[in-house]
Amino acid sequence: MAFSRVATPSDNDFSQGSNNVERTLILIKPDAMARGLAGTVLSRFEAKGLKIAGIKMIQLDEALLKAHYRHLADKPFFPTICEFMSRTPVIALCLEGLEAVEVCRSLCGVTNSRKAAPGTIRGDLGMSMQANLVHASDSVDTAKAEVARFFSEAELFGYEQPVINFLYASDERG
């Protein structure tokens, strides 16, 4: 039996030239884990049509948190983020699809769950600014860095998903 791993998104189910195929990093945060909402959060992304390229449970340590939240290191709430994000293991996901970075950000909703629009993950499931269920990379460049920070090449998988022929129009598949 032959096994294959594909580490780049564009040479998998989409034909070459579909250069809007992106991978992004999602973290299912400790509040979602503790509330038994990990499956609910994951199913929102799956139902939308994002493909799981990588998935694992991980306990965030200080070094990883400092790197991941470097842009917030000067904020007064930085220590509480680190405490919150290490309270339970999290589930890290690498999700793939056309314009996946922006699609996932939209699905999550704005940072403050109380202000997030109904229909979004945070808007439907949360009440907090900090305990907002989910992290999603905020740009294509950030996504590349974050996926590489959380996943090795060997942990990212390419595999056929025949539904792709119905999920996207033929011109979108390249």
Active centre residues (catalytic): 135
CB nearer to ligand ADP: pick between 69 and 168: 69
Answer yes or no whether residue 130 interacts with ligand ADP by CB under 6 A: yes
Whats the size of the chain, residue-wise?
A: 174
Answer yes or no whether residue 81 interacts with ligand ADP by CB under 6 A: yes
Strands of 7-150, DSSP E: 21-28, 51-58, 90-98, 134-136
Backbone angles phi, psi at 95, to 5 degrees: -110, 150
Q: Which residues have CB under 8 Å from 138's CB, separation 6+? A: 101, 105
How many residues in the shown chain lie near ligand ADP by CB under 6 A? Answer: 9
CB nearer to ligand ADP: pick between 57 and 72: 72
Answer yes or no whether residue 73 interacts with ligand ADP by CB under 6 A: no
Answer yes or no whether residue 132 interacts with ligand ADP by CB under 6 A: yes
Site for ligand ADP in 7-36 (CB under 6 A): none
Task: Give dist(CA 89, CA 72) in Å, integer.
Answer: 21
Strand partners, 23: 96
CB nearer to ligand ADP: pick between 51 and 68: 68
Answer yes or no whether residue 111 interacts with ligand ADP by CB under 6 A: yes
Answer yes or no whether residue 140 interacts with ligand ADP by CB under 6 A: no
Q: Which amino acid is at 46?
A: E
Q: Which stretch binds ligand ADP (CB under 6 A): 1-9, 13-21, 131-139, 143-151?
A: 131-139
Q: What is the Cα Rg of the chain in Å?
A: 16
Sole binder of ligand ADP in the list 138, 155, 158, 168 (CB under 6 A): 138
Task: Give dist(CA 106, CA 120) in Å, integer.
Answer: 7
